[in-house]
Structure formats: C-alpha cells, structure tokens
C-alpha cells in the first residue's frame, strides 16, 4: 500500500482564506498530524480521521511520525497555519527525509500545499504596506543565534526595506524586539509607521497602527501570533491604513478620471 504526505498550509485560520487545495488534501487524508492549535483550526474538516496532536516544541517528533505513518501506507496531512514553507514544517520534513537518503522520484510521495502566510493576511487587513521590496525576519532565536538575527535586522534597516517581523516576542523573550527597535531608530525616523496585527482573521484579531517611537507602548499586543510591519522611508498612514507607494504618482496623474483610449 502506497502512502503519501501532504504538508498543508491552512492560512491564517478562517476557512474563507484556506485554499481549495488545502481542503482537498485534508479531505483525501485518513490521518492528520499537527500542533494542537493548528489542528483546532480545521477541527470541522477532520471528523472520523486519525488525529495526532502535538505541543509547540515537538516539531521533530511531528516530522518523524508523519514520515513513518506515510511509509506505512497512510495518507497523511501535516497541518500548519499560514504557509508551511515560511517558518513552517516543510523544511524540517525535507531535512529529515534527506538524512534518510530519500529519493523524491521513487520514494515517499511528498506534496506541499501552499497557504496564505501572515505577511499576506496581515497586509490585507491594514492596506497596502508591501508594495515595494520588503524583508521578512523572525525574532525567534531558538534555532538561529541572536547575533545572526541582529545582522539581518541591521541590513534590512539600512537597505530601507519594509520589514515584516514574525514571532516578535513571547513571555520569556522580550529584549529581542526592544533591541530591534533601537537598531531601526538608527536608520528610520521615529515617526515611521508601524502596524501590529495579532491573530489575523481569527476571533481574537486586534490591530494597532502606531509609529516606531511609540511601538514599545504596545508590548501587550506582541506575542507568537502577532506580526509587526515596519514601514520604510516612503510609507505613510491614511485613515487607519498603511500605504507604501509603488511609484505611480511620479509618472501618472492619479486624479485623471478619463482613459484616452476610451474616448469616442
């Protein structure tokens, strides 16, 4: 019996933002594996299936069990919020399989089902903050040394990228975002627009628009399900929206109402 492993991104949490491919993969699977919070996001889609729930820090165990179950002939969906290829489980699955000398062509079938990541979902809530080049950084130094993250923050700040920050803080991890703010203030104005989105498209959703100078006043909004978007030198706020201009205004008159090609 041939098994298969789907690595499924279920998006921000609401079913409206889950792809047809994600729903189809879960429907086809007889076994569901995932961090318990992510499994709960698809609870209504997994009745009658074998379900394995894990705590947050058991990523390696999750990966190993998914692979073993699929090798036994099960059709397995490893569910992840957002996109599994962006700070998700896809990398660990492939690393584990590579250690086992897996052959993608003749060995276990593995398919990634992409999903809407936090950078997409959060941007859609607050306007158009990602219209020009942007960098995505994680403040979690559990697997990456903090010294490396600092270098990346410095480079992104100096390069005037819009910056999307994942995992900005946790109960035990506070100094990282504080250090990041200090680095950003070396290169950005204190009035630089900041958006803090917590629990995007979930019942717990909250949105704060502030600026770099006052960001620390909203420490209670920072956590593992929060995403921070830092504007660049062109970003501005407009009526509770964050806008990052693409550059059209310098080439076109945006107030023109008629299209010359349509004139009769």
Is 27 a residue whose pLDDT tops 70? yes
> If you ran DSSP here, which 8-state letter would residue 34 be given?
E
> If you ran DSSP here, which 8-state letter would residue 18 be given?
S
* Beta strand ranges found along the chain (DSSP E): 4-9, 31-35, 50-54, 75-80, 109-113, 127-128, 134-138, 162-166, 193-198, 206-211, 226-230, 236-237, 242-243
Q: What percent of the chain has pLDDT over 90?
A: 81
Every domain of the chain and the residues it spans:
4-116, 119-246
Please tell me the class of the 119-246 domain: alpha beta
Better pLDDT: 264 or 22? 22
Return the pLDDT at 56. Answer: 78
The answer to whether the beta carbons of residues 9 and 80 sit under 8 Å apart is: yes
Is 260 a residue whose pLDDT tops 80? no
Return the pLDDT at 252. Answer: 60
Mean pLDDT of the 141-170 span: 95
Q: Whose CA is closest to 7, among 99, 106, 53, 76?
A: 76
Return the pLDDT at 152. Answer: 98
User: Tens digit of pLDDT for each residue in 97-106?
Assistant: 999 999 999 9
Return the pLDDT at 264. Answer: 47
Mean pLDDT of the 106-128 span: 96
User: Tens digit of pLDDT for each residue in 205-228?
Assistant: 999 999 999 999 998 889 888 999
**Bridge partners, 76 (sequence order):** 5, 31
**Bridge partners, 227 (sequence order):** 166, 197
4-116 to CATH, choices 3.40.50.300, 3.40.1010.10, 3.40.470.10, 3.60.21.10? 3.40.1010.10
Orientation angle between helical segments 59-71 and 90-99, nearest 10 degrees? 60
pTM value?
0.89
Return the pLDDT at 76. Answer: 98
């Amino acid at each position: 019996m041939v098994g298969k492993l789907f690595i499924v991104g279920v998006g921000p949490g609401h079913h409206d933002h889950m792809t047809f491919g994600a729903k189809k993969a879960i429907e086809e699977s007889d076994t569901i594996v995932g961090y318990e919070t992510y499994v709960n996001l698809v609870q209504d889609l997994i009745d009658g299936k074998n379900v394995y729930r894990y705590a947050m820090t058991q990523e390696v165990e999750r990966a190993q069990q998914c692979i073993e179950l699929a090798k036994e002939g099960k059709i397995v969906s490893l569910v992840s919020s957002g996109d599994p290829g962006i700070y998700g489980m896809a990398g660990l699955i492939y690393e584990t399989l590579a250690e086992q000398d897996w052959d993608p062509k003749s060995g276990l079938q593995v398919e990634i089902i992409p999903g809407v990541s936090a950078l997409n979902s959060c941007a859609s809530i607050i306007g158009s903050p990602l219209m020009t080049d942007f960098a995505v950084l994680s403040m979690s130094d559990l697997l990456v040394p903090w010294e490396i993250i600092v270098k990346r923050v410095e480079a992104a700040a100096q390069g005037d990228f819009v910056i999307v920050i994942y995992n900005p803080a946790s109960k035990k991890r506070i100094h990282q975002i504080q250090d990041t703010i200090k680095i950003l203030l070396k290169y950005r104005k204190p009035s630089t627009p900041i958006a803090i989105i917590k629990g995007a498209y979930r019942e717990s959703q909250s949105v704060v628009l502030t600026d770099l100078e006052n960001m620390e006043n909203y420490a209670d909004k920072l956590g593992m399900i929060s995403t921070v978007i830092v504007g660049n030198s062109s970003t501005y706020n407009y009526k509770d929206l964050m806008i990052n201009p693409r550059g059209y205004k310098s080439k076109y008159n945006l107030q023109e109402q008629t299209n010359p090609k349509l004139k009769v």
